[in-house]
Amino acid sequence: MASKTSNLNVDIFCALKASEVSGIPVLLLGNPGIGKTVSVYHFAKIRGYETVLLRGNSSTPEEIMGYDTAPHEVTYEKPMAALHLRPSWFEEILRNHEAGKRSLLFLDEITTAHEFVQAALLHLIFERKVGRESLPEDTLIVSAGNYSGNLSNTMALMPPVMNRFMIYNITADHNDLDIFLNKYEGAIANPDGKCKDYMKDLEKALERMDAQESKVSESLRNKIGEYIERSIKDTTRMLITTTKEIDLTITDLKDIYQDADDEAKLCGFVSFRTLNYLRDISVAWYLCFGKQGIASKNFRNAVDGLCGIGISRGKGSSGENKTNHVGKNYYDALVQTANEIEKLKNDKLPEYVKFFSDTIAGKTILEVAEINALQNKVKELMNDKDLKNIDKPVDHSMIATMFDLIKATASKYCGIRVSTTGTIATKYSDTEIMNAITRYNQIEGFTETLGNLISEEERHYDTATSNLFSEVRDNISNVGFKLRAIKKMLSHENPSLASMLPEIANMK
């Protein structure tokens, strides 16, 4: 889940698993013949769902929502309310439920459904009801369809229908050939001539997903949810008030799902509903796949399918609506939020943070013992297996404070001045010179250790922190250069003292 998964089937499985956990229905969109339907049936079989099929291009509103019929005994003298007859697909789901089986309601070819049929689906998808009766809670709703460019001009997707799904765009490439052409694969290598069992591979892939899912307490889940919810609110507020790429008051939405010629996928538009869906999908995705899953291309696909575009007004009172690509804003914010959640979940990180905070609190310089303690603690953090997945374990402000203390300490203890004639300007005792070099070596070692932490790729420190380290490294390197010059002078002025002085570390 770190970036792109191994094949298209597994990509779809990721979306369907997140749908299971969140309860948000998925709409798989892609070109015809790409294997959307087959993948859904594979998932249902492995997961133990009974698949109940509704085809959009061959259903009527009544077949979806049921029929109202007059009872036999009705007369003008004895009027009675119409009887509601359940649709056959709903009866099938109820029978499955009574038998202890879960159902996957598959709304296939939804993009070829007439607008009257799409309207009937609105209530079913959002309310999960047929008339006054509810679908069993463990019923999973999944839909699939093709892009409008694949369809006739009479086909159109209604924005209210699309706004009730997480749109998940499916794109195949040459890496997916094995899942489309695999009927005989493995027969040559197998002495018995048996072919490879791809269903077992998919079962194992789903087993790995299940094993990866985090089982957290309700308290921690709520905290994770609040972190994610705040991130989405802050991002939306910025897009509304600062960049003005979203205007939630716009009501004219009829043309927003006309595919642009240069677009490779269909994005969902930001609304209060999709923002709620984005929160729930993000919580589910994090629990299912962790921080790496949130940083993956699969999750970016899910974000774009929910809140990929924002709608704003054009210039002037009669300006046409504009669609703005805002999915990356939400994705970047949620990746950062996942990093913060990792810190929230980690039991050991607060101990490190408290140690650093207590050690540098109120200090203007660092003593020898403090430098050694801080350096050892940073090394311990870097080697701690429980902190390997934590981004920026020591935040920028704390690192900046440490660097300020390093510079102040170097200035006070290592600033031996040299005259313009090339001699030591002030009379320093042997002990003072020895201490200056010893203190410098300690400072250099601590600076280099902090630099090693910042430069670790998996820590994802940003340019501002890296630039701060470069500045301090140059500062300390200059101090080291002067001390080496002084030691060289002493080799002529006081050879016996020079021979006693330790080697001066060279900042890398």
Look at the chain and report how many structural domains it folds into.
Answer: 1
Could you tell me the two tokens for 59?
């259903």
Q: pLDDT at position 319, please?
A: 66
Average pLDDT of every residue of the chain: 85
User: In sequence order, what are the beta bridge partners of 26?
Assistant: 142, 166
| Dist. CA 125–CA 306, nearest whole Å | 15
For residue 401, being part of any structural domain is answered with: yes
For residue 432, being part of any structural domain is answered with: yes
Q: How many CB atoms lie within 10 A of CB 237?
A: 11
Q: Specify the higher pLDDT residue, 116 or 77.
A: 116
pLDDT surpasses 60 at 162: yes
Q: pLDDT at position 5, please?
A: 46
What is the CATH number for 394? 1.20.58
Q: pLDDT at position 161, please?
A: 78
Average pLDDT estimate for 345-350:
88
- Confidence bin at 32 (pLDDT 50/70/90): confident
What confidence tens digit (pLDDT) does each residue in 48-66 have?
999 999 987 778 888 888 7
Q: The tokens 């499985």 sit on which residue?
A: 13
For residue 291, being part of any structural domain is answered with: no
For residue 375, being part of any structural domain is answered with: yes
What confidence tens digit (pLDDT) does each residue in 419-431 have?
444 455 455 667 7
- Confidence bin at 123 (pLDDT 50/70/90): confident
Closest CA to 6 of 224, 251, 189, 206: 206
For residue 395, being part of any structural domain is answered with: yes
* Structural domain harbouring 358: 347-500
Residue 368 near residue 439 (C-beta atoms within 8 A)? yes
**pTM of the prediction?**
0.77
Q: pLDDT at position 175, please?
A: 77
For residue 205, being part of any structural domain is answered with: no
Residue 199: exposure state from Cβ atoms within 10 A (0-12, 13-18, ≥19): exposed
DSSP codes of every residue in 446-497: HHHHHHHHHH-GGG---HHHHHHHHHHHHHHHHHHHHHHHHHHHHHHH-HHH
pLDDT surpasses 80 at 179: no
Average pLDDT estimate for 376-397:
92
Q: Specify the higher pLDDT residue, 489 or 18.
A: 18
For residue 403, being part of any structural domain is answered with: yes
Residue 467: exposure state from Cβ atoms within 10 A (0-12, 13-18, ≥19): exposed
User: Which residues make Cβ contacts (< 8 Å) with residue 115, sequence separation at least 6?
Assistant: 156, 158
What confidence tens digit (pLDDT) does each residue in 282-334 have?
999 999 999 999 999 999 999 999 999 999 987 765 567 888 999 999 999 99
For residue 477, being part of any structural domain is answered with: yes
